[in-house]
Amino acid sequence: MHFFLHYEYKFPPVALQSRAATGAETVAAGHAFLCYPVCFFLLLLFGMLCACSDNPPAMQDDEQDAKTEQEQTGTAEEKEIILWIDASANLRTFLDKTNVTLYLDKAVRTGFNRIVLDVRPLTGYPMYPSKVLPEITQLHGTAVQRDWDYLGFFLEEAHRRKMKVTASITVFSGGQCGAREGLVYDDTRWNGKSCVEYTPEGMSDIRNNASQVTVFMNPADALVRKLALDLLKEIASRYPVDGIALDYCRYADEKSDFSETSRKAFETYLGKTLDRFPDDIFRYDAEGRRVAGVHYKEWWSFRAMNIYLFIREARETIKAIRPDITLEYWAASWYGALYTKGQNYASQNYDTSLEYPAYADANYRQYGFAGLLDVFQAGAYMEKVMGANDPESMEAQLTNVKRVIQNECKMYGSFYAANQRTSDAASDAVFLCLDRTDGLMVFDIVQVIQFDLWDGIKDGIRRYKIANSE
């Protein structure tokens, strides 16, 4: 998820929440996604700079020891309480091993019992010594020089503290467009593997689009999929991870991918040759709005199928090595808007076409991947916490995700710490996620540090345990 985050789509346009939107309204509202990176970039950059200072904030002792905490909270059901550690945003902080132990101790005292450790940032290079790809050596102008194994040390220290560790990789990311940095810019073997975007101006390589956060590689390309599977296989076989999370396991947006590789694959899916590609899918009118073609709905099902099939193969690959590793996936909670990214995380028992007929055909439901997951982390990244009938609230968003997943896998509520930047707001968000879902994930440690949310998170955990104690 992450620090440059999934910020390009973590903040949902209000129009896309409407279940009654017409096809034209749904398509037009999709363009609203493009404004959010601009609006939030400065906030996110500020958070990164704070987190990446060479001198992380000093930490204070907790007011109560573990024994007193246990006496206060009772014997409530143990749920997973997860802290996400993004690779890019926390790069400088965790160049020093001392800070690893320092913040793991703080996390344990707060009440976290699991971390998600990002080990392949958006540049595409792994954060550990890999035999599949070169280990990362620089990121955003910062040299990465470690004489220790980043993933291995986090695992050792977290397990020493009885914390579980999920390793996360950005599945289809191969570089960062703005900086022109990363795998697809460094290695010519990956030429032609990045997505081709179809815009009102024509076709272009996503590598040349500075407005995109990351270079998405084509999910329909066999070599791209093999690379991601090889990384998953390597992590599962070499490291005692407790889980693996598939991040950026999707398409960038509705403009991708229109390469010849995807055209041929789509023709195979249809069982026919396209005479007018890409107009048979959609074209742009004079105002730059999408106008549906004859195979518009089939296209979205085809893309959802590509993501579904990859996740299925990823699950088979990981479980063949170690069946106990949990397969995890994060996505935004605004399900109805994510068809442009190929993310159908619903249960196959949920018929998307009945609720979103503007884009989903009868086959779309076949590619719901909730049943392939052990854990789905629902990113309810809203500022408002409570509001059962308010689609702009975390409460309503989590309720909707539960409705479409239909208990096919565990569902953890997650929130974006920058949206709940006071202790009271963080406490409420923590309580809501633990009370209404199977667990909690807080994104990201960089903002927990920046806004000093440790006590607020701890209070939310305490409130939940008291409310559920026997």
What is the secondary structure of 9-20 as a DSSP string?
Answer: TSS--GGGG-TT
CA 300 to CA 254: how far, in whole Å? 9
To the nearest whole number, what is the mean pLDDT of the chain? 88
pTM for the full predicted model: 0.87
CA 458 to CA 106: how far, in whole Å? 11
CA 395 to CA 400: how far, in whole Å? 9
Question: CA separation (Å) from 220 to 64, 177, 185, 224, 252?
Answer: 53, 21, 20, 8, 13
Burial of 289 (0-12, 13-18, 19+ CB in 10 A): middle
Listed in order, strand segments (DSSP E) in 186-316 are: 196-199, 202-205, 243-247, 282-284, 290-292
29, 15 Cβ separation under 8 angstroms: yes
Please report the sign of the dihedral spanned by the C-alpha atoms of residue 210, residue 212, residue 215, residue 216.
Answer: negative
Backbone dihedral angles phi then psi of residue 430, each to the nearest 5 degrees: -60, -50
pLDDT band at 47 (very low <50, low <70, confident <90, very high): very low
User: In 180-221, where does DSSP find H-type helix?
Assistant: 183-186
341 DSSP 8-state letter? G
Give the pairing type, strands 282-284 and 243-247: unpaired
Would the pLDDT of 384 be above 90?
A: yes
468, 73 Cβ separation under 8 angstroms: no
Residue 292 in tokens: 């549906």
| Alpha-carbon Rg for the chain in angstroms | 21
Backbone dihedral angles phi then psi of residue 373, each to the nearest 5 degrees: -100, 155
399, 436 Cβ separation under 8 angstroms: yes
pLDDT band at 425 (very low <50, low <70, confident <90, very high): very high
Decide yes or no: CATH 1.20.1050.10 for domain 14-196+206-251+295-467: no
**pLDDT tens, residue by residue, 203-217:** 999 999 999 999 999
449, 53 Cβ separation under 8 angstroms: no
Helix, strand counts (H, E) of the chain? 14, 14
CA 182 to CA 200: how far, in whole Å? 27
Percent of the chain as helix, strand, coil, to the nearest 5: 45, 15, 40
Would the pLDDT of 34 be above 80?
A: no
379 DSSP 8-state letter? E
Query: Residues 6 or more apart from 276 whose CB is under 8 A from it?
Result: 293
Is the pLDDT higher at 60 or at 151?
151
pLDDT of residue 197: 98
One-letter amino acid for residue 36 of the chain = Y
Would the pLDDT of 391 be above 80?
A: yes
Average pLDDT for residues 67-79, to the nearest whole number?
50
